[in-house]
Chains A and B, each alone.
Chain A
């Protein structure tokens, strides 16, 4: 069969690093081709070259057999290449049709002809089973609908090659299932799909062929049907990976963290958390799962003192911390791994050793009479770096900014675990991390549980929730809609609860 895209021996250098090293990608027309690799493996660089955002330093590109030079995204568009970005680029108070025609508005004389555009949008939507209302406003439709609008945008522009950049990150399991259906439908109609992802399950479910990159190099291209998830993972990471989290049964004890009738306002001034109650016992991990934006962030910020509590109470081992400032909450035994490690977790321009004492710099041995003891601060960092295998260019002297995401997260984990809190609020601990780091962090979280800590684990990754938690609380619209045992539930049940269609008392 003919290749529609051929990227041959692509080389791309950035100062100090070769992001793509002799990478060859050949995609058959009418197939779903997955591009698999860890963060920093060079997937995005390769796709940016195909989309005209970077020019390659070596190699050639052929589209439909013809040699091309893609100098900017307009050239890519003309060649029929379209991209569904991870973060949608939509105007929220415009309708679906208005968003789709943005940039090539159809005109009748000098007047915008929105009707004929809407008709075309409706036709496309029907043809590919997208089920999108051309006149709905973006702000009124769900995230998965918004993603379909992005797809429609490309179809409207007659794109034949569709690049999907991590498309499932924002979707519920049911929505992911629907998206896969849409992708298959697109291929049936003759489109070609390039799927960028690090989720093996999805590749297995939908892709025909998979190209694996590691550290900028091409590791191989394999037919998905004949390759196991484990061997693809091995290609991606370079060693064997264990998927299941190794953990014994939990031995929960007394309730440590108790939340009662909590109400918290969100950024819009509305109640983001409504009368929410939950409790976490010592020696157990309570997973908090839900679709992004259903009150998880507000709940966590309220627990940790970053957002004010409207009403209700939070206690740790019976001590009321509802109105305490952050510092005193931490002193009461609260630990917090924040959801946004760059915004809250680290001072990126501080050195690693300075970051390691961000809570404790004011007390001995790190300072005496208000004077910092850099010797002790350094020793502390060296100990934690060693114990938690935090890798960085210059050890304790490394600026946090120049570390990889996985090592930044390990540094935060090291700092927080070392404080030895009794109630541990952990949010999105593995977001954007590669398989190796995820494995390590899960192991550490389970180890903390086994030490008798009460852990609240909030995550958008359903697999993570199912693998790591002992019990699972599902949050929807700022309320807990169900609490279930992790080993007695599955993705389907959770998915239904996450979308608010099923409630279940636990």
Chain B
């Protein structure tokens, strides 16, 4: 009895909050759709179509939607792994966007300058993206460990540095045909595959999902199964206890930021050589970093959670055009995303709500017994 307290969790509760948050998010979306005078069923039909390719209303099937969903999900899953990895070490890495951009720039460099067969070229391109992301992540990590500079400030600033460095290099070093992009990459550097495109009815699906799946497995394995991950989690939960136990806290901070950066760098490489086939100059950040934070939050920084949340957010993005074509503003997808994040952020409130509801239920079922006792 003494162990039962307010906020006590039961098994499966870790899953309960995100699921409830997602349901509430969709409920908010439905209400907004109703306010605009449309039926939420149309919205759900569009989403189902985005998820499975099935159009229930018309009874048709188009696998292109599945391919587009995966394309939308890949980079934000990786940036979520980036944010999540640092978060498990107690760091708030807002720098996924910048780490992604330097990864993309490094991938562009290797794709354009190296000549090699595909089975060497592709790993080199992806590896270059990861190394660049890791080095970019090492900067805030080192500043934090050595001088206790807060990583939020450094990573935000480095995002701008990365953006402008990327544009400078693309436009002035590699040369651009139209002030937007570089020359086409050679085929050997690309993750694109006509076969994948053909089976998904002309979507942009490419082999990028392979390194992403590997990244998810690596994330899970390193964090949950290795001594290194144990040390990182200990530092993340309680730096003082980690120090007391003799762990190298500062070294862990730098390494954690580097690994996080490598995930984001990989995202940059996958986008550049999978979704696109050329280096791009960007007018502004594309928001992968922030989407990744949202995905990591909804996925509770767990590997499987991030995979599922990434697919969910990918679906919401992919369903946008579909909703648009059915007369529902595509911004609804953004509203649902934002609501889900808000509800997850209200984790404590949701947990309390669940806990109170349970107590009521327990009380209700216990009442007849006490009634009998009182009667005796």
Contacts and interface: CB of A to CB of B under 8 A. Distances in A.
Contacts of A328: 246
B84 to A, nearest CB: 15
Nearest to B359: A15
B237 interface: yes
A348 B2 CA distance: 18
Nearest to B362: A16
A347 B245 CA distance: 10
B8 A326 contact: no
A367 B240 CA distance: 23
Interface string A338-367: 100001111111100010001101100001
Contact of B244 (A16, A17, A304): A304
A392 interface: yes
B5 A330 contact: no
Nearest to A391: B3
Interface in B1-27: 1-8
A350 B246 contact: no
Contacts of B4: 16-17
A370 interface: yes
A404 B3 contact: yes
Find the residue from A304, A329, A343 having the highest chain B CB count within 10 A: A343
Contacts of B226: 367, 370-372
B241 interface: yes
Interface string A196-215: 00000000000000000001
A115 interface: no
A45 B60 CA distance: 63
A306 interface: yes
A354 B358 CA distance: 30
A327 interface: yes
Interface stretch (B192-200, B228-236, B285-293): B228-236
Contacts of A325: 246
Contact of A15 (B233, B234, B238, B358): B358
B225 interface: yes
Contacts of A358: 234, 241, 245
A40 interface: yes
Contact of B356 (A15, A215, A306): A15
A347 B237 contact: yes
A343 B6 CA distance: 22
A343 B241 contact: yes
A350 B237 CA distance: 8
A372 B233 CA distance: 13
A393 interface: yes
B240 A326 contact: no
Contacts of A305: 246
Q: Please report whether the interface of chain A is mostly helix, strand, loop or mixed according to DSSP.
A: loop
A359 B246 contact: yes
B228 A306 contact: no
A257 B224 CA distance: 38
A354 B241 CA distance: 13
Interface string B337-364: 0000000000000000001101100000
B227 A362 contact: yes
A58 to B, nearest CB: 13
Contacts of A349: 237-238
B234 A359 contact: no
Contacts of A344: 240-241, 243-244
B215 interface: no
B243 A346 contact: no
Given A16-B4, A17-B4, A326-B243, A343 B359 contact: no
Interface in A305-351: 305-306, 325-330, 336, 338, 343-350
A346 B240 CA distance: 9
Interface string B230-262: 110110011011111111000000000000000
A348 B227 contact: no
B282 to A, nearest CB: 39
Contacts of A215: 1-2
B238 A347 contact: yes
A362 B226 CA distance: 9
A343 B238 contact: yes
Given A15-B6, A40-B2, 18 more contacts: A15-B8, A15-B355, A15-B356, A16-B8, A17-B2, A215-B2, A306-B244, A326-B243, A327-B247, A329-B246, A330-B246, A336-B244, A338-B244, A347-B242, A349-B238, A350-B234, A362-B227, A372-B227
| Chain A to chain B: the 9 pairs with minimum beta-carbon distance, closest first | A327-B246, A16-B4, A326-B246, A344-B244, A358-B245, A393-B3, A15-B359, A349-B237, A15-B6
27 contacts: A15-B5, A15-B356, A16-B5, A16-B8, A16-B355, A17-B5, A306-B243, A325-B246, A326-B243, A327-B247, A344-B240, A344-B243, A345-B241, A346-B241, A347-B234, A347-B237, A347-B241, A347-B242, A349-B238, A350-B234, A354-B230, A359-B246, A361-B231, A370-B228, A371-B225, A393-B3, A404-B3
